[in-house]
Structure 1
Amino acid sequence: MFVVGDDDGDRTISLPYEDIVAVRCTSGLRTSTLEIVTVDEDCWAFECKGDLTPVREFVDEATQVWTRTLTELDRAESQVEAAVTALEATDLETAATHITAAQEALDNGRGRVEALEATASIDERCQSTQAQIDTCQRRRHVSAAEQHRDTARRAWENRAYERAADAYAQAKTEYERALAVTAPEPPTETIADARSAIEAEYAELLSAPVDAAQVAASAARATTDPAARATHWEDALDRYRTAYELDWGRDRRFDGDRASLRQALADIAVELVDTHREAGRQKRREGSEESKRETPGAACGSATAHFERAREVATELVPDRREPPADELAAASEQGVSVESEPKGR
């Protein structure tokens, strides 16, 4: 902005920095002239008796700063567009890179223009770009939270409880980061509801290992057929073992305690050994009936499998119950051999 005075009074002339393409200064005998050329090829000449060299240097430097400022703002807006594209493709890592680059470019542009004390002239553009950056950032955090939530649910289904717990914790953190960003989208209420849902699922997960094991044990107790009951006890043993092997020293996140689970494992192992033996004896009796009917000895083979499994479990978990099935195992094996070797048709 220049103030020009003549016999008719003073007046101001304003030239936007972005319109200036060249600045030069010439000195005459008594006066100096500052010439400013604009993009429209207009030439503005300001003449005075003082030295205009400092003015030329200031305008020239300010014009360059302004040009670099606009370049940074253009770069920021371009990075925002790239971030939006990455978010739509669910490429969160790439989106994060573009969001960071956009913020850096915007901050650089603001810093440059502040030195000129001309922030008001681009304030609206800066605010608009910042709002877009914040929206992208919030969207990225929400998308990351949703990915962690899906990971947690899949891990839960596969009984990878610790991995599920970690993923739920990460999902909650991402939702909280999203809420910390001021942006209109996604709506704050929607994010808060999603965070609450994650917290509820996480709380349910913490009791899931023991709950699932108890359900399997209840199913075993409610089953009358020994072979089917053995299958349920196998499931219960596997689920209690999964619960027992959790990292209980890590903030004690899950419900239950190792001592109780250890005792439950021992109790279920006893039930499993006894049930397999019962199923083995039942199959051995069925094998005797098969031999009378001159049918194949499949029941005897099943009896042997039950007795062998009983001995495996006893050896691993309840050694004091390991020996009793030896005679039963031998009897089942001998019975199976006799059935297989006996000629048909007699």
Structure 2
Amino acid sequence: MLASQDENAISDEELLTGTGSGGVFASGYLHDKPLIEYLGAAERVAFLLSNKKKGVRRENDEGATAYTPGDGYQAIAAITDTRVLFVVGDSNGTGDTSFAVPYTEIEDVKTRSGMLTKGVDIWTTEGVKWHFAVRSTVDIEPAVEYLERAAVVWSRVESQLRHARKHLVDVDELLSEDDHDAARAAASTARDHVEEAQRKAPELTTNRDDAVWERVHDVERRLDASVMEIHVSRAEKHATVANDEWRQEQYNNAYDAFLKARTEYERALDIAREHDFPEESDIRENADTVTQSLDHLSKSPLRRAETAAERARDADAPAVVAEQFEVALERYQTALVLDWGSDRQRFAGDSNELRGTIERVVGELVHTRRLLAAYHLAAGTRLLAAGHPDAAKDAYENAHTEIEDARTVAKELKPQLTPMLEASADTLARCIEAADDPVDDGFEFVGDMADGDPRTRQLSND
């Protein structure tokens, strides 16, 4: 900091903290309160200039006004990290008067010198010129040089931050429209402007606690909050897609979408932790929910298959049993192939165990289909004996359909059952032919339909 450098100069510390008037041989301070109380809590002083008579002069197109200190008081120009603050002690006998000129409003800075005094002139973007004088013995060049740099750097930094803030507004609007790609692009552009501001700020100061850096940090924090919201919004969208895919039994798609959701939540959580954002708790909870969903999803295909198999075994009606075994078989097959081509296992179920289970289910399904075929065969035989060949043919065809359905499954998954089923299909084909050309004296059918239940019928007109 810099204060007057003549033999009657007072220290910077006194200028910051002193109040009260001076006397014949002592300089005074301010009237109402010490200078330090006019400063912001985090405001940092770079230079201090003072005078006892000239005060500060304000000029514009409408005229000029001089604000001079009261008798025994001083006028102080505090050149801080964010502005020039003029405070005039007991100006015109009415107490202290203060004026602030932010660096963002400074357009030009010049010095002028006289025999007894020298001064600094500050022009603002609003067309106001401020003039502050000091004794000619005071070296004001360092303060003026700082002012010039501060005005330029603050102007450039604020320009970049203004552009950044504009793009952050765009981010909010785009997020409300679920346009994540455009929101990310806007955030990226905002980041470019913030980084440019970060490159400009050291031209004034490398102290990250100074106001210009605080201004950059504020926008950077807001930018990080926006990026965090983008991650959260993308996570929510991926989670929605995952649940939709899960409902449609597209398990791998669902798993991939949940992984994407968790990744986005983790990125958002990193940002929330870094800045201690209040959203941290909610984000962590959502990330945990996705992790739980992944665990449930990994077990879902096998559980659904087991549930269908249990329903089949608990059902009483053979048709329902067959239907549920078909469902179970499809689900077990799905569980078997889900991890094919994957580097690691994501879904529950050992491949060898699943293959064994599939064979057992195929056996149970084939057995059930043969039972149904036997029932239809028995019905057809009774109908044919009662003189209803058309109805008998329908029953035989139903039996044949059951056998064909069983043979289709067995051929792919348990081919050792195929010869038996083909023999049954041939037998039923002959029954259908017999129904097309019934004999009058009687019909005898011998067919091996269900395990342990050979259907042997003697049909007659009696």
Residue matched to 1:80: 168
CA contact (8 A) 1:217 1:232 kept: yes
CA distance in 2, matches of 1:160, 1:78: 41
Structure 1's 216 and 65: CA in aligned 2 closer, same or farther, altered over 3 A? same
Residues 111-260 of structure 1 mapped to structure 2, 5 A cutoff? 111-117=199-205, 120-123=210-213, 125-182=215-272, 187-247=279-339, 250-260=343-353
CA contact (8 A) 2:149 2:203 kept: no
Task: For residue 56 of structure 1, report the CA deviation from its aligned partner.
Answer: 9.0
After superposition, the C-alpha distances for 1:233-265 in whole angstroms (9 at most, x for unaligned) are 111111111111122653222222111011111
Structure 1's 65 and 324: CA in aligned 2 closer, same or farther, altered over 3 A? same
Task: For residue 160 of structure 1, report the CA deviation from its aligned partner.
Answer: 2.2
Instruction: Please tell me the residue identity of whatever aligns with 1:95.
Output: A
Alignment partner of 2:107: what SS?
Answer: strand
Structure 1's 42 and 164: CA in aligned 2 closer, same or farther, altered over 3 A? closer
Identity of aligned residues (%): 27
Q: Please tell me whether residue 40 in structure 1 is matched to residue 130 in structure 2.
A: no
CA distance in 2, matches of 1:17, 1:210: 68
Instruction: Please tell me the residue identity of whatever aligns with 1:226.
Output: P
After superposition, the C-alpha distances for 1:87-146 in whole angstroms (9 at most, x for unaligned) are 112222222222222233223223312311297344554344233223222222222222
After superposition, the C-alpha distances for 1:261-285 in whole angstroms (9 at most, x for unaligned) are 1111112122222222221121122
CA distance in 1, matches of 2:286, 2:162: 35
Moved more, 7-16 or 127-136: 7-16
Instruction: Please tell me the residue identity of whatever aligns with 2:154.
Output: W
CA distance in 2, matches of 1:7, 1:220: 103
Task: For residue 206 of structure 1, report the CA deviation from its aligned partner.
Answer: 1.7
CA distance in 1, matches of 2:163, 2:197: 10
Alignment partner of 2:210: what SS?
Answer: helix
The structure richer in strand per residue is 2
Q: CA RMSD in A?
A: 3.6
CA distance in 2, matches of 1:89, 1:273: 54
Q: Please tell me whether residue 97 in structure 1 is matched to residue 153 in structure 2.
A: no
CA distance in 2, matches of 1:10, 1:197: 63
Task: For residue 79 of structure 1, report the CA deviation from its aligned partner.
Answer: 1.1
Alignment partner of 2:326: what SS?
Answer: helix
Moved more, 140-149 or 110-119: 110-119
Question: Which residue, out of 377, 390, 413, partners 1:284?
Answer: 377
Structure 1's 309 and 186: CA in aligned 2 closer, same or farther, altered over 3 A? farther
Q: Please tell me whether residue 21 in structure 1 is matched to residue 117 in structure 2.
A: no
Instruction: Please tell me the residue identity of whatever aligns with 1:112.
Output: K
After superposition, the C-alpha distances for 1:301-320 in whole angstroms (9 at most, x for unaligned) are 22111111222222212221
Alignment partner of 2:348: what SS?
Answer: coil
Residue matched to 1:299: 395
In structure 1, stretches of 5+ residues that fail to align are none
Task: For residue 72 of structure 1, report the CA deviation from its aligned partner.
Answer: 0.5
CA contact (8 A) 1:138 1:185 kept: no
Structure 1's 7 and 243: CA in aligned 2 closer, same or farther, altered over 3 A? closer
Count of equivalent residues? 340
Instruction: Please tell me the residue identity of whatever aligns with 2:337.
Output: E
Structure 1's 152 and 268: CA in aligned 2 closer, same or farther, altered over 3 A? same
CA contact (8 A) 2:107 2:125 kept: yes
CA distance in 2, matches of 1:243, 1:256: 7
Instruction: Please tell me the residue identity of whatever aligns with 1:262.
Output: R
CA contact (8 A) 2:332 2:358 kept: yes
CA contact (8 A) 1:139 1:185 kept: no
Instruction: Please tell me the residue identity of whatever aligns with 1:261.
Output: L
Residue matched to 2:432: 336
CA distance in 1, matches of 2:263, 2:215: 32
Structure 1's 184 and 92: CA in aligned 2 closer, same or farther, altered over 3 A? farther
TM-score by length of 2: 0.63
Residue matched to 2:408: 312
CA distance in 2, matches of 1:26, 1:242: 87
After superposition, the C-alpha distances for 1:304-345 in whole angstroms (9 at most, x for unaligned) are 111112222222122211111233212323333454577xxx
CA contact (8 A) 1:24 1:36 kept: yes
Structure 1's 19 and 212: CA in aligned 2 closer, same or farther, altered over 3 A? closer
Structure 1's 53 and 178: CA in aligned 2 closer, same or farther, altered over 3 A? closer
CA distance in 2, matches of 1:181, 1:262: 46
Instruction: Please tell me the residue identity of whatever aligns with 2:408.
Output: E
CA distance in 2, matches of 1:330, 1:65: 95
After superposition, the C-alpha distances for 1:20-73 in whole angstroms (9 at most, x for unaligned) are 334679999xxx998654323345679989xx9999998766644432211101
Structure 1's 35 and 128: CA in aligned 2 closer, same or farther, altered over 3 A? closer
CA distance in 1, matches of 2:179, 2:289: 24
Structure 1's 289 and 125: CA in aligned 2 closer, same or farther, altered over 3 A? farther
CA distance in 2, matches of 1:123, 1:17: 14
